[in-house]
Amino acid sequence: MPFLRHIALGAWYYASLPWRRRLARKNGAPITILFYHRVADEHSNAWTISNRQFERQIQWLKQHVELISLEETQRRIRTGDSPRPAVALTFDDGYAENCDHALPLLVKERIPCTYFVASRFVMNQQPFPHDVLAGTPLPVNTPEQIRALARAGFEIGAHTRSHADLGCVRDRRSLQDEVVGARHDLESITGQRVRYFAFPFGLHRNLNANAFRLAHEVGYEAVCSAYGGYNHPGGDPFHLQRFHADPHLLRLKNWVLVDPRKEYRTSPFHYLPLPVKKARTEPVT
């Protein structure tokens, strides 16, 4: 992050902290869900953070927020009971190096985590096309690793079969393959029920109302986007909105402790013909 932006963000973060704390005291703290992709020290890229950065983030999060599961996130959204700043952790795609340090650290610290996997790459042991294009075909998790993660208490979630942009998928058969087939693949690997689905890329343009409906019909408990929105008590527990886990700790702190500017700028993706209960957007008083 450029130096001047860092200074400006730091000033904003510390000046707005009292405002953010008042929100939490009102039992209405929005819940932040973070998504990581790859934690590794080699072949750094836009979707990788180093082991040291990850460890620093986990230590800060442990001290300043409650670390909760997606299931507990949904419970707080449904009941409106959210007395403290809380964060749920997720990973997307299924990179092998996550099993070296990052995931064992979460096990050691007993921090819940949902691990979203694009199933075909794991089953066929193929690198992701975006890594091949970038010239670094990074290793993906093996089915044995996914099974071991499920046994260690990680919630394994579906992230399509082929990492497709579902915003472009129109036919029902392809949607069925990506949304339902991916779950079938992962359940056959882990022997456990797959309850959550995350849209690849996850911006508004990558979401698809038919995929939301299909996921609901076939029994997923929630689907996740990735455009950077908060989850409000009393809001929609089926659509869980996530933030990218920024490698810069200051920016991460700023999102996690609920930046009021982000509150106003993001709007939830509406996927049902019925009106979705409106998210809280009032300023903190």
**Which residues contact Zn ion by CB under 5 A?**
92-93, 200
Nearest to Zn ion of 200, 237 (CB atom): 200
Shortest separation between residue 159's beta carbon and Zn ion, angstroms: 6
- Closest separation in Å from C-beta 161 to Zn ion: 12
- In the complex, the smallest distance separating the C-beta of residue 254 from Zn ion, rounded to whole angstroms, is 24
Residue 16, token pair as written in the block: 């707005």
Kindly list the distances between the CA atom of residue 256 and the CA atoms of 23, 88, 202, 243, in Å, as whole numbers in the listed order: 13, 10, 19, 9
Closest distance to Zn ion from the beta carbon of 92 (Å): 4
Cβ distance to Zn ion smaller for residue 92 or 97: 92
Nearer to Zn ion, 65 or 226 (CB): 226
> Would you say how long the chain is, in residues?
285
Q: How far is the CB of 163 from Zn ion (least distance, A)?
A: 6
- From the CB of 146, what's the least distance to Zn ion, in Å? 15
Beta-bridged to residue 155, according to DSSP, are 114
Distances in whole angstroms, Cα of residue 210 to Cα of each of 44, 146, 175, 223 = 36, 28, 8, 12
Question: 233, 213, 230, 234: which is closest to 268 by C-alpha?
Answer: 230
Q: Which is nearer to Zn ion, 198 or 258 (CB)?
A: 198
Q: How far is the CB of 3 from Zn ion (least distance, A)?
A: 31
Check: CB of residue 225 under 8 Å from CB of residue 243: no
82 or 114: CB nearest Zn ion: 114
**In terms of CB distance, is 119 or 145 closer to Zn ion?**
119
Measured at the alpha carbon of residue 269, what is the angle toward residues 49 and 25, in degrees to the nearest 5? 70
Q: Closest CB to Zn ion among 80 and 129?
A: 129
Determine the Cα angle at 58 with ends 54 and 64, to 5°: 145
Alpha-carbon gap, residue 270 to 237, rounded angstroms: 13
Helix 249-256 to helix 3-25 angle (10° resolution) is 30
Residue 195: CB atoms within 10 Å: 18
